[in-house]
Amino acid sequence: MNTNQTCSIIPIFPCKSIDEQLDFYQALGFELTYRQAKPNLYACVRHPIIELHFFVLKALEPANSYSMCYVHVPDVDAVYREFCNQLKKTYGKIPSKGFPKITRVNDLAEDRRFNLVDPAGNRLLIGQKHDRPKLISIDLHETVTRFRHAYDIAYKLAYAKDEPAEAARVLDLGFAKAGEESSALCFQACVLRADIAVSMNDWELAVTFVQKAESLPQNDPGQEDVSEAAYRLLELKMILERGYLAD
């Protein structure tokens, strides 16, 4: 067997409507390469980053979909900008909730990524691996607190798994049991909770946590994690101040 052959993997996703799927992916800039009407509905689309195939499953409920695929790209920010620009042209906005939607780009320990969820609930995790693993800076003489643990779990739930309700539950429990925490960690947690609230349309709670974050001193504004949270805080304030309070 020649193990040097070039291989490719093509996800085959279910959908309730071929037309709805094709409209969405063509809006993103995908090219329709094949469409079949009989004996069953089937279609294929292609983009420089991936090729996708679709079949119809009438009983599919997007909210219950578990279909997903990780797509590794060399420049995740360029792909994100392209998709956002394309979606704005078609929808007049960037869909961030429901089906379909696109999440913002976030830095995780292993990569920098965003999630693209189509009308059928299929999820593309589009990411760019870090040149070096992103290490969490922890003082070896300091015990990792329950609050720090809750924050780390909530961050992954919110940004890696796109599960804001569960992220909110975990972080709220963390806040309730928080002890003497560093102001930097509290600042990051407040920004994260505000971001989760925005994603869940809980605008009053988002404003509350934005105000809490602003009241906290940032011990080391040059620290990477704090700088990232500070930038996200500015984005959240812009969302709230411009009145983007509806889908």
Give me the CATH number covering residue 18. 3.10.180.10
For range 143-152, the mean pLDDT: 85
Do 112 and 175 sit in the same domain of this protein?
A: no
pLDDT of 8 > 90? The answer is no
Q: Where does the pLDDT of residue 245 fall: very low under 50, low under 70, confident under 90, or very high at 90 and above?
A: very low
CA angle 57, 23, 163 (to 5 degrees): 65
Report the distance separating Cα 190 and Cα 208, nearest Å.
9
Do 114 and 202 sit in the same domain of this protein?
A: no
Say if 2 falls within a structural domain: no
Do 184 and 235 sit in the same domain of this protein?
A: yes
Residue 167 is predicted with a pLDDT of 96
Residue 140 is predicted with a pLDDT of 39
Q: What percent of the chain has pLDDT over 70?
A: 88
pLDDT averaged over every residue in the chain: 88
Instruction: Indicate the number of domains in the chain.
Output: 2
pLDDT of 87 > 70? The answer is yes
Which range marks the domain in which residue 237 is found? 146-241
Do 95 and 178 sit in the same domain of this protein?
A: no
* The last residue of a domain, from among 73, 97, 129: 129
Do 26 and 51 sit in the same domain of this protein?
A: yes
3 state DSSP class of 52: strand
pLDDT of 218 > 80? The answer is no
Report the distance separating Cα 234 and Cα 242, nearest Å.
12
Residue 238 is predicted with a pLDDT of 86
pLDDT tens figures, 177-190: 888 888 889 999 99
Do 195 and 93 sit in the same domain of this protein?
A: no
pLDDT tens figures, 10-59: 999 999 999 999 999 999 999 999 999 999 999 999 999 999 999 999 99
Do 185 and 95 sit in the same domain of this protein?
A: no
pLDDT tens figures, 100-117: 999 989 888 789 999 999
pLDDT tens figures, 66-84: 999 999 999 999 999 999 9
Q: For the ranges 3-7, 42-46, 171-175, which has the lowest average pLDDT?
A: 3-7
Residue 109 is predicted with a pLDDT of 79
Say if 26 falls within a structural domain: yes
* The last residue of a domain, from among 129, 154, 170: 129
Do 162 and 125 sit in the same domain of this protein?
A: no
* The last residue of a domain, from among 85, 103, 129: 129
Say if 16 falls within a structural domain: yes
Do 64 and 18 sit in the same domain of this protein?
A: yes
Structure tokens that stand for 166 in this block: 């569960």
| pTM, entire model | 0.76
- What end-to-end distance do the CA atoms of the chain give, in Å? 53
pLDDT of 240 > 90? The answer is no
Q: What is the largest CA-CA distance in the chain?
A: 66
Give the pairing of strands 42-47 and 50-56. Answer: antiparallel
Say if 25 falls within a structural domain: yes
